Amino acid sequence: MSRLIITAPGIASIQDIGRFGLQRYGVAPAGAMDAGSLRRANTLVGCPVGTPAIEIGPLPVSIEVAGPPIRFALSGAPRTLSIDGESVPLDQTHVIRDAQRMKIGSARGGMFSYLCFEGGLHCELQHGSNSLDERAGFGSPLRRRLQAADVLEVPAATAWHSERSAASPSAGPARQDVIRVILGPQEDYFYPETIDRFLTTTWRTALSSNRMCYSLDGPLLAHAKGYNIVSDGTVKGSVQVAGSGQPLVLLADRGTVGGYPKIATLASIDMDRFVQIPPGGEVRFKAISVGEAQALLRTSGARDSIALREASRLPGINPAALASANLAGLATNALDPAAFD
């Protein structure tokens, strides 16, 4: 095992695909905000797509390695990445060695990136997931966000023919882009003109936004039947309208039930783009049907599967790596009897 020593933690935590099956007990799924970027980075390092990773928020992070070399990939929001001061690309595997330092810069327009490792982080499942849920006290190997001097364990890198790169780079955030939604399930709690205002307004994500929800700044939305309903289940992407009239988009660390009416639900196809919108970023919404959302997701899933397969393919021989290998030292003279002693 090698050790990752956190020297500058930024805003980072351990997240995987999420903790499911426990919402009936009030436990949120948590998990990666941008699941697509998690899948991409894990595929590059040869891990199952939901393997735990370090989810890095918008602030810079610095990590030092102690022990055997490790292999990693970083995908998600555009940002700088360097090893001992030398810039290296995102969406590609890299090997970092003992005493070397990895520096990950601030997100440039996006929010979240995913640092995945060959062999995965050393964790122990807690209720089916390693994802941090600070309110519930779940998370492995830590039940809190990363702090300076934290140490994580990662298996040593294995011998590869050459490093891998993604077929296409990670997508940037949605800027003045349209996020598709399905109206409801309580759209009847709003006046028709309120729904029209929700769909025609250019909203801005509030500075108070976090992993629990993104608050939307813009005109207040009027309720037609009051703002209290019998509390019912929420999903990632539920758009509640609070008593004040402000829309709240519930996300990974949301409460499992809520008592505000929900005017719409984000389509899964656009979820990863939405969570990458930084505070103050603009967003508009477009209503589509459930059937349209399902068809878009099926098409996207097939396309992503092809892209992930492309990302996991090994490119041609790396001449620099080949030249640096000690090939002669591995040769054996089969005619020498001493070779068989």
d(Cα 219, Cα 195) in Å, to the nearest integer?
12
- Specify the DSSP element, H or E, that contains 304: helix 290-312
pLDDT band at 312 (very low <50, low <70, confident <90, very high): low
Specify the pLDDT at position 327: 47
Other CB atoms closer than 10 Å to residue 102's CB: what's the count?
22
In sequence order, the β-bridge partners of residue 25 are none
Q: What mean pLDDT comes out for the span 119-144? A: 94
* pLDDT of 88 strictly over 90: yes
For residue 338, give every residue at least 6 positions away whose Cβ sits within 8 Å of its Cβ, in sequence order, or none.
Answer: none
State whether residue 298 is helix, strand or coil: helix
* Residue 109 near residue 172, CB atoms below 8 Å: yes
Q: What mean pLDDT comes out for the span 33-60? A: 97
* pLDDT of 73 strictly over 70: yes
In sequence order, the β-bridge partners of residue 257 are 233
**What is the percent of the chain with per-residue pLDDT over 90, rounded to a whole number?**
82
pLDDT band at 94 (very low <50, low <70, confident <90, very high): very high
Specify the pLDDT at position 109: 87
φ, ψ for residue 34, nearest 5 deg: -105, 90
* pLDDT of 238 strictly over 90: yes
pLDDT digit string, tens, across residues 174-222: 444 799 999 999 999 999 999 999 999 999 999 999 999 999 999 999 9
For residue 295, give every residue at least 6 positions away whose Cβ sits within 8 Å of its Cβ, in sequence order, or none.
Answer: none
- Among 224, 222, 251, 252, residue whose Cα is nearest residue 238: 251
Total-model pTM: 0.87
Q: Where are the domains of the chain?
A: 2-169, 177-293
Terminal alpha carbon distance of the chain: 32
Q: What mean pLDDT comes out for the span 157-162? A: 94
* pLDDT of 339 strictly over 90: no
For residue 151, give every residue at least 6 positions away whose Cβ sits within 8 Å of its Cβ, in sequence order, or none.
Answer: 3, 4, 5, 6
Q: Which fold has domain 177-293?
A: Cyclophilin (2.40.100)
Residue with the two structure tokens 């509640």: 240
Q: What mean pLDDT comes out for the span 148-174? A: 84
